[in-house]
Amino acid sequence: MKAEALAVLSTLAVSIAAQAAPEVSFRTLDVDGIKVFYREAGNPAAPTIVLLHGFPSSSHMYSGLIKELANQFHLIAPDYPGSGHTVITPDANFKPSFDGLATVMTHFIQAKGLTKYALYVQDFGGPVGLRIASKHPEAITALIVQNANAYQEGLSDKIADNIKHTSKGVTAETRPALEGIISSPSVQFMYKAGTRDPEHLSPDTWTIAQWGLENAANREIQMSLLADYHTNVEQYPAWQAYFRKHQPPTLVVWGKNDPLFVEAGAKAFAKDITNAEIHLLDTGHFALEEDTPEIASQMRRFLTRVAEQQASAAK
């Protein structure tokens, strides 16, 4: 009997381990001559979440969240051109701008055959994702917003000043400031500032982000994107109009100690989205580094409720 009991327990342990560690695939898809690298996990028949990363990170920032949620959702996290493992071929006609990123990501989503999906947006993912959402509102089941601005009040004075002084593009005048933003000390600051305990952060995060910036072509793309950031601020009124008209179900999970994209930016979503849920977390810009379990829990609850409401409304 003891042997049989041990066998049952062993089988159960293997089953639980398999559920707790879902398999993640690392794939590449050719989009407009760009070899877009992406992570994918979960059952494609389950509700889909497209995870759009921030600067200076890549899809790597979602590694932990994907493992948390893949037993319930279908998750796809691409790298933008100029980030992570995505490769721009010589034949690609890519202009490093936020309009350009949104076009590539739109074509990526279309190539994946996605017609309904939630968007998780952080930092640069905000302007990329909100360009997509405002042009294709029928496809968006929900928004999860994590330290991604759509309101002027969300910009710290430092960020607002940077945007103002780099809006002329990458020039001899602006290059020193732009190179400073993508420098190793600045990258580490983005990850560490506002966190509860920097000693609990894995240095792998900023090391991998900095690795992406070591590529000369990627550095130029990232500086061009930083210089193009003013176009996002110019689109805030259009995105706010999208919020008011379509009222997308929205969960805001925001590191309230972020010195770059400040707490007021999180609260501002409630101005235009009637039932926006806003949760302020005691951490910084890259909130997933300390609060992946909390964010995953909030997402499970929120997206399950949204799916039930949308299914009921469709009857």
Report the number of distinct structural domains present in the chain: 1
HEC profile for the chain?
CHHHHHHHHHHHHHHHHHHHCCCEEEEEEEECCEEEEEEEECCCCCCEEEEECCCCCCHHHHHHHHHHHCCCCEEEEECCCCCCCCEECCCCCCCCCHHHHHHHHHHHHHHCCCCCEEEEEECCHHHHHHHHHHHCHHHEEEEEEECCCCCHHHECHHHHHHHHHHCCCCCCCCHHHHHHHCCHHHHHHHHHCCCCCHHHCCCHHHHHHHHHHHCHHHHHHHHHHHHCCHHHHHHHHHHHHHHHHHCCCEEEEEECCCCCECHHHHHHHHHCCCCCEEEEECCCCCCHHHHHHHHHHHHHHHHHHHHHHHHHHHC
107 domain residue, yes or no:
yes
105 domain residue, yes or no:
yes
pLDDT tens for each residue of 157-206: 999 999 999 999 999 999 999 999 999 999 999 999 999 999 999 999 99
51 domain residue, yes or no:
yes
94 domain residue, yes or no:
yes
11 confidence band (pLDDT: 50, 70, 90) = very low
Q: pTM here? A: 0.92
pLDDT tens for each residue of 211-238: 999 999 999 999 999 999 999 999 999 9
Annotated catalytic residue 165: no
Percentage of residues in the chain with pLDDT exceeding 90?
A: 90
pLDDT tens for each residue of 47-104: 999 999 999 999 999 999 999 999 999 999 999 999 999 999 998 989 899 999 999 9
Phi and psi (nearest 5°) for 78? -90, 160
20 confidence band (pLDDT: 50, 70, 90) = low
Q: Is the predicted pLDDT of residue 17 greater than 90, yes or no?
A: no
Round the average pLDDT of the chain to a whole number and report it: 93
pLDDT, residue 220, reads 96
Domain hosting 45: range is 22-314
1 domain residue, yes or no:
no
236 domain residue, yes or no:
yes
The domain that holds 282 is classified in CATH as: 3.40.50.1820
Q: Is the predicted pLDDT of residue 6 greater than 50, yes or no?
A: no
8 domain residue, yes or no:
no
Question: Of 135-139, 301-305, 307-311, which gets the smallest average pLDDT?
Answer: 307-311
Q: Which of 53, 60, 74, 285 is catalytic?
A: 285
pLDDT, residue 312, reads 86
6 domain residue, yes or no:
no
Are the C-beta atoms of 36 and 108 separated by less than 8 Å? yes
